[in-house]
Structure 1
């Protein structure tokens, strides 16, 4: 939940409302929750059955079988080395952007702050997983305080139910609405990403067949409720036009109900939330290159564990370094679209197809946790993800395809080098960390 509630909902709230251009913008947040819940079923089946460090790396390898699985898992790690730093950078950039409400930084000052956030996160994560768990709980307390304050502010000072009463005003279920819903859902879905982060830490989870599905579904439902209440609360106080044009919509909301001092405090809490999200996301992603390297499918240096603290420090440092560079180069809107475009094809859609293939080979009884109404949720997830991919717009769609194509070329080259060196050892299932 800490990973899910980052800077995303505070930054994209205005973007979603502007894209939908009407009181029905709440539907984009509902759509994001529905997709997350359906996709969470796929992750639950795979995560509970293969509770290993690396998450999707293992799922794709097992789902597509010995030959195609090696290629798909390599492709996933390849794109992770690009999109994982983008995820980390997006939260750091959002942190820097929102801090502009308290003290204007200018272009270079903003870049310096986002880079500093990434560096500080790496320093905090450079320790044992047990200590990290305690830090995560502390960060999550700050997240809850922030969201409860925002929601209660709307309840006490606004006409809280008015946005719900009028959310269908002027609504027409036509192609224009569906197109706008698709574009807006790109941003709302981004705010839900992270419900599956527990799968990347599968080797460190107790009773994974129970705790991995439980973790995801509780998180998705809980965050969906919090997001909807937060949007309703803000819309009950601020006019829609102000919401669509604001860069610091939640800060302006708090200023409206409690004054500038409270708004500054709220902004500081939002920055706390953003920091917590970077922390959690970086933790999960650092395990993916490690898992692949330990399996012999990626550069061996990434398989190194810290000699005393027992965590993949090389993977953590490399991803953090790339994220630092990305945080200096890009804007947050560009990063959000790029993240989804890269992940949808190689991870979300491919993972769903792999689950179907694995079910045919092994049978449904093979899975430690089984979704209801299979295969309907899987088919729905594939169709919805395809629609979201289309909504990222042609430029980002091409970038996603280009990353996959470059990964394919890299895999072919790597395979030729392995054959030349006589290294054809088949990949094996990873043990728990």
Structure 2
């Protein structure tokens, strides 16, 4: 059966009592489709690994500059965790009711049709996911270049090597991809906890602390802008939707995966920021360009600076690997539904990996890395390029929850978002605000990203959906 086959009002049920998709039912007989091989712990490591990246060592200073007091600073991070939890509850209903390798792509198709789903898959392949991969790879490249430079384009070369290597790891199969993720995540988690322990237990050097610049006290800044940075730092948990059909214990467990992930992420962020604030003060944080490096320099000296540099590299590698793993799933779903991209919809049953989708994603990401090398401002350019498109489709997915409640009211929902419709309204309002902010505060790169999205409409003229079978 193809994914385009209409779903029954009550999906077929597997031996363990969980609803299955047509793709899963087909997999049980042929092995040529995604199979439920991912454990809950693997899924949590993927989601936390995507979210808790290098951003936590940069954005706290921006949040401090726009809050001005420890109370508002911590309130912003707590609010970020609460908003993310609200969004996770919305995604839990979608991913448990409609488990599918396509994730958001599948939700948008069921609610708004193939045209919207196609545009999302196009955006994810050309802007959102590949841009995120290039962005994270650049972080690794920038830090490695500080350790060992190999020429004027060191960052771009290292970034391209990271993408090529981790793409190859994921082509080897789901076990290699999730196994690598678990190892990277464990190392990253240990490193972050070390930073927390150092910040909370070692007194800073008075001379080193005095040498750091400090922002003017009493600056209240803009709480709204602070939330933009906080929610961007929390971004990425929605990738859980792309592995809902591959969860070994069944899609119902996606509720646990999402809630546990958000709790872990929020706890880590609060601990790290507590360590930053205790050691540096809100004024020094607000003036810092690299708050993690400043913390380690005043407590551990230059040895600590080297440690934090390696930790940032490890955090970025963890996020790159997880983003590569989940990103290719949308490309695969696109190939399953549209003839023009049929070559993307091939699943290697031996390794349980979408090989063509992974290769395509890697090539586009490396092309964006090359573009960043040419502009010489790769990191900021890619941020501007991806943000508006990302938040537009995030908002659309939130609206899909309302649409599907109306269009498919009788389908069995293993989990229903609590306090409906208030909860999804809060989520959609947050997405709308960030969409506005990403257009208002970014540069020309945002317009380029929107232009690339609109160019996808040209493909709609030649993209023919596969016939239902």
TM-score, scaled relative to structure 1: 0.84
Q: 1 CA distance for matches of 2:185 and 2:251?
A: 24
Give the direction of change, closer, same or farther, for the CA distance of 1:334–1:208 in structure 2 (3 Å limit): farther
SS at match of 1:231: helix
Which one of 49, 53, 56 corresponds to residue 97 of structure 2?
Answer: 49
Give the direction of change, closer, same or farther, for the CA distance of 1:414–1:267 in structure 2 (3 Å limit): same
Shift of 1:2: 1.1
Give the direction of change, closer, same or farther, for the CA distance of 1:230–1:104 in structure 2 (3 Å limit): farther
Q: Is 2:173–2:353's contact at 8 Å kept on the other side of the alignment?
A: yes
Aligned to 2:13: none
Give the direction of change, closer, same or farther, for the CA distance of 1:365–1:300 in structure 2 (3 Å limit): closer
Q: Is 1:11–1:94's contact at 8 Å kept on the other side of the alignment?
A: no
Aligned to 1:353: 399
Aligned to 2:131: 86
Q: 1 CA distance for matches of 2:95 and 2:181?
A: 21
Shift of 1:115: 1.8
Range that drifts further, 88-97 or 232-241? 232-241
Aligned to 1:263: 305
TM-score, scaled relative to structure 2: 0.78
Which one of 35, 52, 57 corresponds to residue 83 of structure 2?
Answer: 35
Which one of 54, 58, 79 corresponds to residue 7 of structure 1?
Answer: 54
Shift of 1:244: 3.8
Q: Is 1:37–1:217's contact at 8 Å kept on the other side of the alignment?
A: yes
Q: Is 1:17–1:25's contact at 8 Å kept on the other side of the alignment?
A: yes
Q: Is 1:186–1:340's contact at 8 Å kept on the other side of the alignment?
A: no
Q: How many residues align?
A: 400
Aligned to 2:437: 391
Shift of 1:22: 5.1
Aligned to 1:72: 116
Q: 1 CA distance for matches of 2:254 and 2:198?
A: 34
Aligned to 2:413: 367
SS at match of 2:99: coil
Shift of 1:191: 2.1
Which 5+ residue runs of structure 1 have no aligned equivalent?
160-168, 429-433
SS at match of 1:2: helix
Q: 2 CA distance for matches of 1:364 and 1:335?
A: 42
Q: 1 CA distance for matches of 2:64 and 2:152?
A: 26
Q: 1 CA distance for matches of 2:171 and 2:350?
A: 11
Q: 2 CA distance for matches of 1:171 and 1:372?
A: 38
Q: Is 2:111–2:400's contact at 8 Å kept on the other side of the alignment?
A: yes
Aligned to 1:119: 164
Range that drifts further, 313-322 or 396-405? 396-405
SS at match of 1:119: helix
Structure 1 residues 131-210: aligned runs within 5 Å: 131-157=176-202, 170=218, 180-210=222-252
Give the direction of change, closer, same or farther, for the CA distance of 1:102–1:38 in structure 2 (3 Å limit): same
Q: Give CA deviations for 1:77-123 in whole Å, capped at 9, x if unaligned.
A: 01101211111011111222334554567752222222222122112
Q: 1 CA distance for matches of 2:203 and 2:406?
A: 54
Matched, 1:377 2:423: yes
Q: 2 CA distance for matches of 1:321 and 1:11?
A: 28
Give the direction of change, closer, same or farther, for the CA distance of 1:382–1:27 in structure 2 (3 Å limit): same
SS at match of 1:380: helix
Aligned to 1:410: 459
